[in-house]
Every structure is written in C-alpha cells, then in structure tokens.
Homo-oligomer: A and B are copies of this chain.
C-alpha cells in the first residue's frame, strides 16, 4: 500500500467511526426529545469548573428536574458531590479515553429513569480538544473556560469555540489578579462563532448565573412545545 493509500484508508476508517457515532447520537437525541429532556454537552479544560458551574445552574433552575452524567477518566469525586446535593447522577469512567462518544452515552442513559421532563447535563472529559469532535445526543454544547487559562484559548483550540452554543467564562472573581485580555479573547471567539451566547460568571462567588439559567429554561420550554 502506498503512503497515500494508507492515509486514505485511515480517513475512511475515521469517517466510518464518526458516521456510526452520529447515527447513535441521533437515536439518543430522539429519545431525549420524547422524554422532554433538554440535554447539554458540557465541555472544558481540566479544572475549568464544569461541575461547580453545573451545580450553580441546577440550584437556580429549581422548578425543572435535573439529570447529570459525569464523565471522568477515573474517580467519582464529582458524582459524590452531586448525589450529596440530591441530584440524579450517573458516573462514567473512560479509563483513558479522552472524550465521551455516543455509544457510551446511549448505554449509560439506560440507567436513568427518564420519566420526568427537565434538563440533562453531560459533563464531558476535561479536554479542550477531542470532546468537540463527537456528537453524543445533545441539544446544545456548553463550553466552560476560565480567565486564568489566558485570553489566547480561542486561537489555540478553535474547534471547541466554533461548536459551542453557549460559552461561559468562569472564575471572573480572579480578573483583578490575572492578565485576562477580554477584548482579544472575544475577537477570537467572534471570528469562529458569531452567535454563541457568552456569559461571565464566578462559580466560587455564585454570580452571573441568572442569564445562563434563563437562556437554558427558554430552550427547554421550546423543546416541549
């Protein structure tokens, strides 16, 4: 096989994996629609505050049932936190895989009794690269970034920013102590993604979540109509 043929075969295999993934993601999405569960694929780098952001949002949307799927390489630290707050949570451990995929989610959701409409958060593996490549059945993608990661992230990890429907800038309480250039950051975001909602929050100080929550509730209501 020539090098070119080898490369083409690799591309074919990758396309076939993505096709299979997307087919299952579509089936999951149909099931979630039937249950009236608006589903959010939560992406972000390690330590961006994905779990604490999810908790802040759930505390604010009191009148909607919340489901969480926790994706981690190892450990169930976040699931313990969530269940201690009375939130219906399933743990997935990928033991090395750097993203969630549709077959994994489809299989995990069988553990949920999805009899109540509401909102589901699927917390992806902490990684700004691969999670953005895989549909997992979600309605929207939420990207969580932080002011401590620096203003150049849209330029360095474009796909996650391009695919996001909502971008949450977390840890804004630390702005006085870091060199976050919001103008440069937003210029990078808008080149990739002219329409995503961008909201500044602090999970630690529990500020900024009203706008996020109203947006999610509106989306959830429109799903049920």
Query: What residues make up the interface of A, taking CB atoms closer than 8 Å to B?
Result: 45-47, 72-75, 77, 96, 98, 125-130, 133, 146, 148-150, 152-153, 155-159, 171, 173-174, 177-179, 204
Which B residues touch A171, using CB under 8 A? 148
Contact (Cβ within 8 A) B45 A156: no
Contact (Cβ within 8 A) B126 A96: no
Name the contact of A155 in the complex, choosing from B77, B146, B173 (C-beta under 8 A).
B77
In the assembled complex, the Cα of A129 lies from the Cα of B45 at a distance in Å of 11
Q: Please, which residue of chain B has its CB at the minimum distance from the CB of A132?
A: B96
> How many protomers of this protein does the assembly include?
2
Which B residues touch A174, using CB under 8 A? 148, 174, 177-178
Known: A47-B150, A74-B156. 12 other contacts (CB 8 A): A45-B47, A47-B146, A73-B156, A73-B158, A74-B158, A75-B155, A75-B156, A77-B152, A96-B159, A98-B129, A127-B128, A179-B204
Name the contact of A177 in the complex, choosing from B73, B155, B173 (C-beta under 8 A).
B173
| In the complex, the 4 A-B pairs of residues with the closest C-beta atoms, listed nearest first | A47-B149, A98-B129, A148-B148, A45-B46
In the assembled complex, the Cα of A123 lies from the Cα of B140 at a distance in Å of 32
Which B residues touch A173, using CB under 8 A? 177
Which B residues touch A149, using CB under 8 A? 46-47
Q: Please, which residue of chain B has its CB at the minimum distance from the CB of A179?
A: B204
Contact (Cβ within 8 A) B128 A46: yes
A63–chain B nearest beta-carbon distance, Å: 30
